[in-house]
Each structure stands twice: as C-alpha cells, then as structure tokens.
Chains A and B, each alone.
Chain A
Amino acid sequence: MTLHLAILPILIPMIGGLLMLLPPFAGAHRYQYRRVAALLLMLIQVAFSSYLMLMVVQNGAIMYAVGDWKPPFGIILYADQLSAMLVALTSFLGLGITLYSFSGVDRKGKYFHPLIQFQLLGIYGAFLTNDLFNLFVFFEVLLIASYTLLMHGEGKQKTAANVHYVILNLIGSSLFLFALGTLYGITGTLNIADMAARVAELSGSNQIIAQAGGSLLLIVFGLKSAMLPLHFWLPQTYAAASAPVAALFAIMTKVGVYCIFRVYTVIFGEQAGELANMIQIWAWPLAILTIVAGTIGALASPNLRTLAGNLVIISVGTLLITFSLRTPEATAAGLFYLIHSTLVTGALFLIADMVGQQRGKALDYFVIAREIKQKALLGVLFLIAAMALAGLPPFAGFLGKLVILQSATGSDQIVWVWSIILVPSLITIIALSRAGTTLFWRNTPSRDASESPGVSKWQLSGTLLLLGASPLFALFGASIIEYTNSAAAQLHDIDYLLEVMNLGGDAQ
C-alpha cells in the first residue's frame, strides 16, 4: 500500500469514475447509487491524500517509477510536500462540491459524478507527475473533463462560453506540444529533474532554442492560469458554469500557477546557468497587470459569479507576484495564500448560486429584486467569504496577505509588492461591499419571498466545509505556515530532487 501510495490518488478516481459508468450505477434513475459511490470515493481520496501528505512529511519526498522504469527513462511520479499538499487541497475541494451537488445539480446530467472524478484524476495527475509529456497528458484529461462539465446543465450561455474555452485550450495544447518538442530536441529528456540538470550544460546556440521552448511553455501555463493577457476567457467561462463546476474550476487556474512554480523553479531556476530566472522579467509586469485587470474587472462585474471570477484573476496575479520574488519565503507565502484563496473562492461560487436561487429571475445580478428568503444565513456566509477574500482579520485571508507582505520586506521590490497587494485589497472590499449591499439590502418591498426554494442541507454542508477552512486556517496558521515553508524549501532545493531521483551523482 505504502509502496504505491503516490499513484493511488490517480488510480482511485480513475477506477471509481469508470465503475460509475457501469450497470449498478448507470441510468438516470440510479442517481442515488451514484451519489453514495461519489461520496465514498471522495472520502477515500481525502483519506489517502492526507495520508500521502503525512508520509511525505515523515519520510521525505516519494519517487514512484511507473512500471519500474528508472529515471530518467520512465514516467516518474514525484510527490513532495508541495504536490501532496495540493493533492490534499483538491480532494478536499472535491468533497465540498460533491456534497453541494447532491442538492440536485447532479441530476441535470447522467454523467456528472463520473466526470467530476475524471476531472479530479487529471488535476491530481498534473500535480504529481514529474514528466513534462505526462503533464501534457494529464492536462488533456482534466481539460476534456472540464469541457463536458462546463456544458452540464442547460443554457445557451454555456455553449457560447464553452466554444471559446475549448478552442483556446486546443490552441494552448498545440503550443504545449511545440514547446515540448523544442525542449526534448535540445535536452533529450522529458523528466523535469533530468532536464534541470541538462539545461545548465547547454551550449550558446542551444540555449536560445531552450529559451524559446521555455517561453512557449510560459504562454501555455499562462493560458491555463489566466495570466494577463490570456485571462479574457475566465470570467465568462466561470460565470456560465454551474455552481459546483465553477467551484471546482477554482483549482484549475492553480494548476497553471503550480506548473509555473515547478517548471521555472526547477528547470529554469537558480542553477540553470545562463538561463537562470529567464522569465522573471516577464513575470513581474504580467503579475502586476493581472492584478490590475482583475481589480478593474471586479469593480465592473454585473453579477456575483463574474465578481468571483475576477477575484480568481486577482489571486492568480498575487501568486505570480510571490513567484516573481524568487525566494523560498515568498513561495511559502504564496502557497499559504493559494490554499486559502482556492477554498474561499470555491465557496463564493456556491454562495452566488444559493443567492441566485432565492432571487427569482434577478439571479445574482446586482439589481434591485425581491427579498432573499434566508437573508441572515446567506448574508453571514457571504460576509465571511467576503472578509476572507478581501483579507480582513480575523480570517486567514488576512494572514495570507500578511505573510506575502512580510516575505517582500528587505527586497528591492518592496514598494511595488506592498502597493499592488494593498490597493487592490481595498478596491476588492469596495466591490464586495457594493455586491453585498445590493444583494441583501436593496429589495422591492412588495414581493413575497416565501415561494422561493430554501437552502438544502447538502448545499449548506458543502459550502460550510469549504468556508470553514478559513477560520481553521487562522487558528492553525502557525503550523500551516511551517508546512508551506518546508514545502517551498523542498521545491527550491534542486539537489534534493536529483538525489531522490537518483540522478544526482553522474553528470549524464
């Protein structure tokens, strides 16, 4: 069991998702069976990913050679503290949205739960793999699942958004393969650790080709993570998706950010000779502009879902800032912020859906409409999410921004970092309070709210699960920051990676 622990997060949703397509679970009227199976699968995944995280902390990073083909030849899965943490985060988010979907969203299509499992499979795989081509394959797995999940439910809006999303990502996949071909042609390997060792030894003209390949990869990851100027698809897509799907998509941009962290820290990091930190000059302005674009978008959003989508863009920009600082401390701060913002943004999408349910045709648009039925409950949930996202104490969003600000002290960019984190925070507060006042306080007095549906227990449990992380993070902040610190240190320690891969000694 422990031997194959690193591949279990990939195998469980794959086999589980496939089984859910077969007789006892197939068919529109068997949805209860699928729900039980989905819940069980999610609980198993949470348990195993937490166990994986525990084992990685205790025994160091796990290298798993698929089919026992030793590195650099075979496909290698590599679970270090960073991967294990993100896998655990994904499974937790998956549990939350699965619970939420039991309220009836999952009955709009027969394949909702299997598709969620395939989506999770792709995300886990992208986090765990240490092979660039394998990363491409897992990207495609998570993308094809997301294409179909985006169509889940009814609405023409979904089709229009999906056409853009699919075409953009197919072009992105082509670019990814071009980049891979270039890098493989130059370095002769696809293993990330092995490539890191070889990039430093490249001769002058080959270096330029490797730089071209590496820069192409940045475009691909930028598209996935919605980095400016590749972010235009995001607000529309996330606003069109049904609530649990949008909440799950909150982790998808983080897959792109994770890849940027991994590839440009390990392959093109400090030790890469001439190519060291080659994208840093791009990452800085792009990160700042991403935050600016997200902030303007947040102010201009016509409804709560678009607002949440723009907050996702801001969080991506903030993560890119922590990437651009290129210190383990900044990376650690970014990771802490990543976990928290993913869960809370996910919860905000769910809250937007519940609010929309109780406002009739006005949905979650910022217009004067009928009174919300469960005003107090939804209002409190929204307030917690908004405070956590804007970074107000006592919630962990405050802590996340604080550690980012702290990590920038002493560096030359302190003025930039502080202003680009703090000013957008203020504007976010304005956007969120405008949203809250319109949604909860400005009503037409005449309409009776009693006929709108109440919040079901599944919706509430799913949202609370995701939202509950914020106060918990504030309570256990010290130990989580300690964990992200050691995860970041592990990410930046290339020699350790080479040692785990048994590539360290020989220069081959």
Chain B
Amino acid sequence: METVYVICVGVLTSCGIFLCLRGRTFSVVVGLTMLSYAVNLFLFSSGRLNLKDAAILGMGESYADPLPQALTLTAIVIGFAMIAFVVILALRARADLGNDFVDGTEPPDTDKLLKSNRGKV
C-alpha cells in the first residue's frame, strides 16, 4: 500500500510542478490544484498509514493519529479557497491584459521569427 501511495503523491507532485512551469494561466491553475492534492495526501500520510484503526482512544489495541486528519481538513479548506481565488484572478488577468499568459504578454512567436529571417540570411 505504501508504494502505491508514494507513487500517487510523487506523480501528482511532478505533474503539478510541470504544469506550474507552463506559460498559460489555465495549466498553471490546474498545476496548483494538483500540487494541493498531492500536499493533502502527503499530510495525511505523515501520521503513518493504517487500514483498520480508528482515530479514537480506547476503541481497540492501537489507534490512528487524529492530528494529520485535522491538518488535512484545514489544508483542503484553505487550498480550495486559494484555488477559487486564483481562478477568478486568472479570469481578471485575461480580461485586463488581453491574453492568458502568466507574464501578461504574448511571447514572440519563434516559428514566425525563424521563417521571416530565413530568406534574408
């Protein structure tokens, strides 16, 4: 179980980082969402994974750590609010700046630059 869990967190994180490095706001927002999912899973695992124990004392031999569950809940709420904010901000930036690039300007089209120079050189 641990291996699957670790792979899940790892894949989510790397996808999130990759998408955050993209140029357009949509993929960045998706990347941030994936990062926050990965974080939630990671936080949950910090209390060690177990399948059958309850987070209540006195119900059995062993018990699960309740604190990471509380942390994850808080992180979900905060992460959700932040993603909602960044979506609205991205829309506002699209309206204000006229394009959906994170930098606010369209990058020079390398294809066109190459083609226009090709004849001259």
Contacts and interface: CB of A to CB of B under 8 A. Distances in A.
A8 B69 CA distance: 29
Interface of B: 16, 20, 25, 28, 32, 35-36, 38-39, 42-43, 45-48, 67-68, 71, 74-75, 78-79, 81-82, 85-86, 89-90, 92-93, 96-97, 102-104
13 contacts: A156-B97, A160-B93, A163-B89, A163-B90, A166-B86, A167-B86, A167-B102, A173-B78, A174-B16, A174-B32, A174-B35, A181-B71, A190-B67
Report the 7 A-B pairs with minimum CB-CB distance, sorted nearest first: A185-B46, A160-B104, A181-B46, A159-B96, A177-B39, A174-B35, A181-B43
B43 A177 contact: yes
A171 B32 contact: yes
Given A137-B78, A160-B104, A180-B43, A167 B20 contact: yes
Contacts of B78: 137, 140, 173
Given A137-B74, A159-B89, A174-B39, 12 more contacts: A140-B78, A159-B96, A159-B104, A160-B93, A160-B104, A163-B104, A166-B85, A166-B86, A180-B46, A181-B46, A182-B46, A185-B45
A229 B16 CA distance: 21
Task: Find the residue from A166, A170, A190 having the highest chain B CB count within 10 A.
Answer: A170
B74 to A, nearest CB: 7
Main secondary structure of the interface of A (DSSP, over half): helix
Interface residues of A, number: 25
A431 to B, nearest CB: 27
A342 interface: no
A144 B97 contact: no
A172 to B, nearest CB: 11
A162 interface: yes
B23 to A, nearest CB: 12
Contacts of B75: 177
Given A156-B97, A171-B32, A184 B68 contact: yes
A144 B36 contact: no
B42 A159 contact: no
A5 B43 CA distance: 33
A166 to B, nearest CB: 6
Given A137-B78, A144-B81, A181-B42, A166 B71 contact: no
Contacts of B47: 184-185
B35 A162 contact: no
Nearest to A134: B74
Contacts of A418: none
A178 B17 CA distance: 14
A30 interface: no
Interface in A129-184: 133, 137, 140, 144, 147, 156, 159-160, 162-164, 166-167, 170-171, 173-174, 177-178, 180-182, 184
Nearest to B35: A174
A156 B96 CA distance: 6
A156 to B, nearest CB: 5
B49 to A, nearest CB: 11
A61 B43 CA distance: 32
A305 B54 CA distance: 56
Given A170-B32, A185-B46, A159 B71 contact: no
A180 B43 CA distance: 8
A133 B73 CA distance: 12
Given A177-B75, A178-B42, A184 B67 contact: yes
A55 to B, nearest CB: 31
Task: Find the residue from A147, A167, A181, A184 having the highest chain B CB count within 10 A.
Answer: A181
B71 to A, nearest CB: 6
Contacts of A181: 39, 42-43, 45-46, 68, 71
A159 B43 contact: no
A166 B48 CA distance: 32
A185 B46 CA distance: 4
Contact of A167 (B28, B38, B79, B96): B28
A267 B103 CA distance: 38
A178 B9 CA distance: 11
Contact of B35 (A140, A156, A171): A171
Contacts of A184: 46-47, 67-68, 71
A163 B93 contact: yes
